[in-house]
Structure 1
Amino acid sequence: MRREHAEWSDATFGDIGPVGPLKHLSKEALEAAADPSDPLEWADMQFLLWDAQRRMGISDEFITRAMIEKLEINKSRQWPEPKEGEPRLHIKEQPATVVPEECPAELPYAQVKAAADLYALCWQSGEVVTYTPDPEKATIWLNNYSGTCVQEYVKLERLQEALAGNSPVSPGGWISCSERMPDKGQRVLVCVDFDSSTVTPLVKEAEYTSSTFRIGPNTINTTGKPSVTHWMPVPAAPEPETMNG
């Protein structure tokens, strides 16, 4: 059943990522609450939950571990009467979150900003999602995914200089996508712009496919959100130092 639904969902909706199914799930949940006796509403919710989990690349085992941890958190909470209605309004004072020493709660925002930006870009599905720059979440994500998804976060002083100028080939070697594109198959550095006041641009290595830029499993074009605005050839590796004598 899962496989059949996944094939239908991919053929119908394409690579939309987990956010769409989750938003739709909230709508179906309200409809199910209006008529809990309708089995089709329950089926829709289960399909959407499966779809979001699959598109997020989360295994059943991962969900089970998270459920075990969350159950312990829920058991520690106080749930006063009435217990129906909006749960968020009925949770009393909660035990203080235990934060490991290596992940201080007061970790400066600047220290997790880069991780949060990468977190937004590198989901396996290719979906770009919004994020909350929470130090704990950023650190957990880095610990779990740094081996497969995280690439070096590059500062953008040269790009900012480029954006301030009008030349198609700007200071630092950045080339505007509106003026010229790379050759097909060429590997380049690209600036990924989120058009957001909270998410700064990223510099990533990408391959140009003649119509889009491929970054790992993700593809980004020069329009929409996010989009590639500038590119430059990948710098040559530094020459190895030679030992005298």
Structure 2
Amino acid sequence: MKEQQFNEIIAWQKETFGQATAFSKIEHLKEEIEELAVDVAIDGIDKRLEFADCFFLLFGAAAADGMTYQDICNAIQEKFEINKKRKWGNPDENGVVKHVS
């Protein structure tokens, strides 16, 4: 996502959902993740739009909590560098792999 698109989405969210908070967006995100999980499980034709809903809410929550586009990009890069240095375990029964150090 480019910064201009991020800023347009955040401005639209503020105008349309002015009372929403970072917390309320996260609660909504939980619901959208469930919808996404169903679409992924059934290989739904519009699952890409469910991914988009989740991105909108996650980025919107970050912005509502005071993060800018650049803050998000920096945090993603910082966490990526941390994750590259970690040791990772084996997948569990759901295919989830967690770090062990």
- Superposition TM-score, scaled by structure 1 size: 0.32
Aligned position for 1:8: 16
Per residue, is there more helix in 1 or in 2?
A: 2
Q: 1:65 pairs with 65, 69, 74, which one?
A: 74
Aligned position for 2:35: 31
CA-based RMSD: 2.4
Aligned position for 2:100: 93
Q: Post-superposition shift, 1:62?
A: 0.9
Aligned position for 1:119: none
Contact 2:33 2:54 in 1 (8 A): yes
Q: Residue 17 of structure 2: SS of its match in structure 1?
A: helix
- Superposition TM-score, scaled by structure 2 size: 0.68
Q: Give the distance between the partners of 2:93 and 2:23, measured in 1 at CA.
A: 27
Q: Post-superposition shift, 1:84?
A: 7.8
Contact 1:77 1:91 in 2 (8 A): no
User: Per the alignment, do residues 77 and 83 of structure 1 end up closer, same or farther by CA in structure 2, a change over 3 Å counting?
Assistant: farther
Q: Post-superposition shift, 1:25?
A: 1.0
Counterpart residue type for residue 26 of structure 2:
L
Summarize deviations over 1:185-214 as a string: whole Å, max 9, x none.
xxxxxxxxxxxxxxxxxxxxxxxxxxxxxx
Q: Which has the larger radius of gyration?
A: 1
Q: Post-superposition shift, 1:86?
A: 6.3
User: Per the alignment, do residues 40 and 9 of structure 1 end up closer, same or farther by CA in structure 2, a change over 3 Å counting?
Assistant: same
For structure 1, list consecutive stretches of 5 or more residues without a partner in the other structure. Answer: 95-245
5 Å-filtered alignment, 1:96-111, equals none
2:38 pairs with 1:19: no
Per residue, is there more strand in 1 or in 2?
A: 1
Give percent identity, aligned residues only: 32
Counterpart residue type for residue 31 of structure 1:
E
The higher-RCO structure (CA 8 Å, 6+ apart) is: 2
Provide runs of 4+ in structure 1 moved above 4 Å. none
Summarize deviations over 1:135-164 as a string: whole Å, max 9, x none.
xxxxxxxxxxxxxxxxxxxxxxxxxxxxxx
User: Per the alignment, do residues 30 and 92 of structure 1 end up closer, same or farther by CA in structure 2, a change over 3 Å counting?
Assistant: same
Q: Post-superposition shift, 1:70?
A: 0.5
Q: Residue 88 of structure 2: SS of its match in structure 1?
A: coil
Counterpart residue type for residue 30 of structure 2:
S
For structure 2, list consecutive stretches of 5 or more residues without a partner in the other structure. Answer: 1-7
Q: Give the distance between the partners of 1:78 and 1:53, measured in 2 at CA.
A: 28
Q: Post-superposition shift, 1:22?
A: 1.0
